[in-house]
Amino acid sequence: MQQLRLELAESFYDSLPLRPYATDDFEYGVKIQSKKNAVTKKHLSLNHKYSTQWVTFDIDRNGAVADLYYDTTGVQTPNLVVENPENGHAHFLYKLQTPVYLGENTSIKAINYLSAIYAEMRGLLGADTAYTGLISKNPMHKHWRTQELHQEPYTLRELARNLDLDATVTRTAKVSADEAYHEGRNVKLFNELRAWAYVAVREYRGKTYALWLQACIDYCMQLNGMLVHMLGYNEVKQIAKSVSKFTWQKDAYHHHMFMERQAMKAKSGGVKRSASYDPLREQAVALFADGAKKKDIALELGVSDRTIRNWLNAEKAESALSQICEG
């Protein structure tokens, strides 16, 4: 496949986040990778957590690239077109001269301006409305056919040239009303985050819940960044907290059951273990001894409050019995 010229490849590489999400196969989920490793994958995230420099559209139809040469819609030519040579579907990538920052203390006008431009361009291009823009075809990967059609990055004003943004305001209002009726932005984020979290949580086994919660917040913020009308940070955080808590406890339970089965197999094979042996129980006792609250321990280990109480009571009883025997 056609390779990017050196200058463009270096510029593209420099624009990427330090640790993008990337994958070769979505069935196995996306993972945070080093930049050096991410650019070897077929798909990766182009934008930083709280900013947008690459505006991406997913065109799921044959002849998507050929349509550009006969375009009469007034949409600007993309900087890069990354095409699947097997079916002609493509991602159109537009690079912004100045990134639009998405945090709470940034320009709401710039965010709304970009949202209006994106909605209008998406409609004119016939791009997939369900595509969040989080993960893109990697233009540096040899699996795709990549073309550079425009060298200079765009300002928002240049992207908006020839677009009827007044019509966009009306249309996006209707889209938002439909979304609120059928699904809603928060439900959309919840479902997309949950699908990712079921797989991604496995990478956090042996780590703390706080790290997992932050990973969910970061991913949810990226999903939120591509909505026409984004939710506030507190709403995003609440969605992330709900998903992270549920998936953390669910994964910890199944992982704990797996470890118990392994222990039973070892025991039946002649390996003698103490009746009180339980890795999670040992962690619970240690955390409680360090001053952690029972409720926090339950959340950290992914078990119920009742289980924590039973473990601690059993530990206390065994300790008392041991002292009596020694006496």
pLDDT (tens digit, 9 = 90+) per residue, 140-169? 999 999 999 999 999 998 999 888 886 555
pLDDT at 184: 56
pTM value is 0.54
Please report the pLDDT score of residue 54 as a whole number.
94
pLDDT computed for residue 69 by the predictor: 60
Residue 181 has a pLDDT of 34
User: Are the beta carbons of 39 and 16 closer than 8 angstroms?
Assistant: yes
39-48, 110-119, 214-223: which range is least confident on average? 110-119
Backbone φ and ψ for 238, nearest 5 degrees, come out as: -65, -40
Q: Which residues contact 11 (CB under 8 A, 6 or more apart)?
A: none
Specify the 3-state DSSP secondary structure of 100: strand
| Residue 144 Cα to chain centre, angstroms | 23
Residue 105 has pLDDT above 80, yes or no: no
**Could you give phi then psi for residue 54, rounded to 5 degrees?**
-105, 120
Give the integer Cα–Cα distance in Å for 19 and 21. 7
Using alpha carbons, select from 151, 29, 145, 36 the residue that is nearest to residue 94: 151
Tell me: pLDDT of 313 over 50. Answer: yes
pLDDT at 226 over 80: no
Nearest CA-CA partner of 184 in 219, 235, 125: 235
User: If you ran DSSP here, which 8-state letter would residue 154 be given?
Assistant: B
Cα torsion through 76, 78, 83, 87, rounded to 10: -10
Q: pLDDT tens for residues 191-206? A: 889 889 888 888 887 7
CA 268 – CA 251 distance, rounded (Å): 26
| Tens of pLDDT, residues 227-270 | 656 777 888 898 999 899 888 877 765 556 555 656 666 555 54
Say which amino acid occupies 233.
Answer: Y
